[in-house]
Amino acid sequence: MNHEQDFFEQCSHNRTDQELSNAKKAFLLVQEGAVFAVARDYTQAIASYDKALEIQPNNFSIWDVRGDALRKLSRYEEAIASYDQAIAIKPDYPYSWWSRGDVLERLGRYEEAIVSYEQALKVQPDLHRVAFKKSLLLIKTGKFFNSIDQPENLWSIKIILNKIGFYLNLLLRLIFTTPIKYLLLFFITLTVVLTYGEKSLVEAIKQGLSIIFSTAVFLLIARELWTRRSKINFVYKIYFCSGILSYFRAFLIACITIFIGSIIYIYA
């Protein structure tokens, strides 16, 4: 969020010298508040923002940064009120909606948070983090599958899956482009740690790797399903609507799964 640019845009409408002088004072107070915020002295930052608002009460960016400072102090209700003021002045500023949703989420007011995230995405649809947070809340409230056919939710899911695919591809590219000697060194080190390391550490590593690989496989499958969703109906008919062949195929898959599981159990 470039609050300085937003501030100057609002100040550009001043006409008299007195108004210009006041705008400069307000700007300096905002800068003072920003310095306090960087130093994590949020109480002083809020005091500076309040003084600036006495001069420029209709400057949405001051209300927005004031809300950020209140959020840092966990003064959530006051933060929401500050964001509401910013939104009332400039309803098409997505970051105030985003911040408002974040505070509501922290308070456990998920329904209201979802609405705020939706408003942010209406203004700026490519806010990936907002789309992700909204999808998580839909899952948490049990409304994900009920609302999955809505265009805005489909767009959010598409953004998330594309982002996941990007990072997974980046990880795979990193693995395959890393010199073999470094990969060997990594696997040798991992083997030594798993063999001779402290039991609690070894268990933690095993569980961590299991979660990472399981999640990666799940996400890859989800992304592929989404990419090829137009063919899912055809696959369903082939595998589940082909009469006796469906039962034979299911029996064969079950036998193969049991056989592989038995081998792993014996030699693991």
CATH of the domain at 39: 1.25.40.10
In a domain, 14, yes or no: yes
Average pLDDT over residues 104-124: 94
Residue 14: its pLDDT value, please? 46
In a domain, 252, yes or no: no
In this predicted structure, the answer to whether residue 234 has a pLDDT above a threshold of 60 is yes
- Per the structure, the count of domains in the chain is 1
Residue 43: its pLDDT value, please? 96
Give one DSSP letter per residue of 233-254, joined into a string.
Answer: HHHHHHHHSSTHHHHHHHHHHH
**Class of residue 72 by CB neighbours under 10 A (exposed 0-12, middle 13-18, buried 19+):** middle
pLDDT digits (tens, 9 = 90+) for 34-87: 999 999 999 999 999 999 999 999 999 999 999 999 999 999 999 999 999 999
In a domain, 226, yes or no: no
Indicate the pTM of the whole model: 0.58
In a domain, 204, yes or no: no
Average pLDDT over residues 152-163: 66
pLDDT digits (tens, 9 = 90+) for 184-228: 676 677 676 666 666 676 677 767 766 766 666 666 666 666 666
In a domain, 114, yes or no: yes
Which is more confident, 24 or 46?
Answer: 46
Domain range for 77 is: 3-197
